[in-house]
Structure 1
Amino acid sequence: MYGQASPFAPRHYRPSNMYTRVGLETEVHDASPHRLIAMLFDGLFSALAQAQGALEAGEREVKARALSRAVRILDEGLKAGLNLEAGGPLARQLSELYAYASLRLTQANLRDDLEAILEVRKLLQPVQEAWGAIAPRVESSPVAA
């Protein structure tokens, strides 16, 4: 029975998934706000890569799940985490960028449009890199401690 899914568990359930999920939950719980955003970017780019691979392989269901996950990360994670009042013009521009990326990924899902997925990756890669570049300063500042 160990290592096998129960006949009553969801298809994707595996006992090892529980350990992975607990590890991720622990990492999220212990993460700094900066690290949480970095994790959202990691999840977003992972979902985009999965969607691209699934689209190229003709696996529409996998592509749809991956793109839905990417849109949720954009809308419920990155965009929702912006403070539009304190963040000023930069926060508003990021909000608009994330909204545009969500729209393009929704279109990519409906039209099986690989170019839209690649466009979103190209638009958001510099944002992810910039976020990563400020990590040492953010995590070593007195406010982060």
Structure 2
Amino acid sequence: MNATRKASAYARGAGAYARVGVESGVLSASPHQLITLLFDGAQSAIRTARLHLDNGDIAAKGLAISKALDIVNNGLMAALDRQRGGEIADRLAALYDYIARLLLKANIHNDAAHLDEAARLLNDIGSAWRQIDPQGQRGAHD
């Protein structure tokens, strides 16, 4: 087997190993940890989008922003418990909606400032989420 084939086989194997590791982490995670993983995934997708934007790879930028939008809309927003979360959940929903609009504008206008603002807001919310005691009272993301 030549060096290129070995490298390709190694990359496929490493990718499969990483997917199994992520899937195992998700399956064993608490609800609090799952939300943390969503914040991490959204931030990662935004960083990837920013790199692609900076490199002029508009198609890849669009895919990364789509991934971030999916996490915000179908992960973080969908996880909100509006009944038990009350006003906090309503405010988070408004923030997530704003973040989604920032991501859409960043995608349409190739605007790094909108990506940066979305990342900053998600970082702020994610940092606050990480400080919550997982054993404490249940809140907006139950």
Superposed pair shares fold, TM > 0.5: yes
Cα distance, 1:2 vs structure 2: 6.0
> Pick from 10, 13, 16: which aligns with 1:15?
13
Contact 1:2 1:15 in 2 (8 A): no
Q: What does 1:54-93 align with in structure 2 at a 5 Å threshold?
A: 54-93=52-91
Q: Which residue of 2 aligns with 1:31?
A: 29
Show structure 2 runs of 5+ residues with no match. Answer: none
Cα distance, 1:39 vs structure 2: 0.6
Contact 2:43 2:119 in 1 (8 A): yes
Contact 1:54 1:60 in 2 (8 A): yes
Larger helix share, 1 or 2: 2
Q: What does 1:90-101 align with in structure 2 at a 5 Å threshold?
A: 90-101=88-99
- Rounded to whole Å, the distance in 1 between the matches of 2:96 and 2:103 is 10
Letter in 1 for 2:113: E
> Pick from 100, 103, 112: which aligns with 1:102?
100
Q: Which of structure 1's runs of 4+ aligned residues deviate more than 4 A?
A: 140-143
CA displacement, residues 7-47 of structure 1 (integer Å, 9 cap, x when unaligned) = xxxxxx82322111111111000001110000111111111
C-alpha RMSD of the superposition = 1.9
Q: Which residue of 2 aligns with 1:9?
A: none
Distance change >3 Å, CA 142–CA 127, structure 1 → 2: closer
Q: What does 1:121-136 align with in structure 2 at a 5 Å threshold?
A: 121-134=119-132
Cα distance, 1:141 vs structure 2: 4.9
- Rounded to whole Å, the distance in 2 between the matches of 1:90 and 1:142 is 13
Higher RCO, Cα 8 Å, sep 6+: 2
Show structure 1 runs of 5+ residues with no match. Answer: 6-12
How many residue pairs match? The answer is 133
Cα distance, 1:122 vs structure 2: 2.0
- Rounded to whole Å, the distance in 2 between the matches of 1:42 and 1:110 is 24
Contact 1:105 1:116 in 2 (8 A): yes
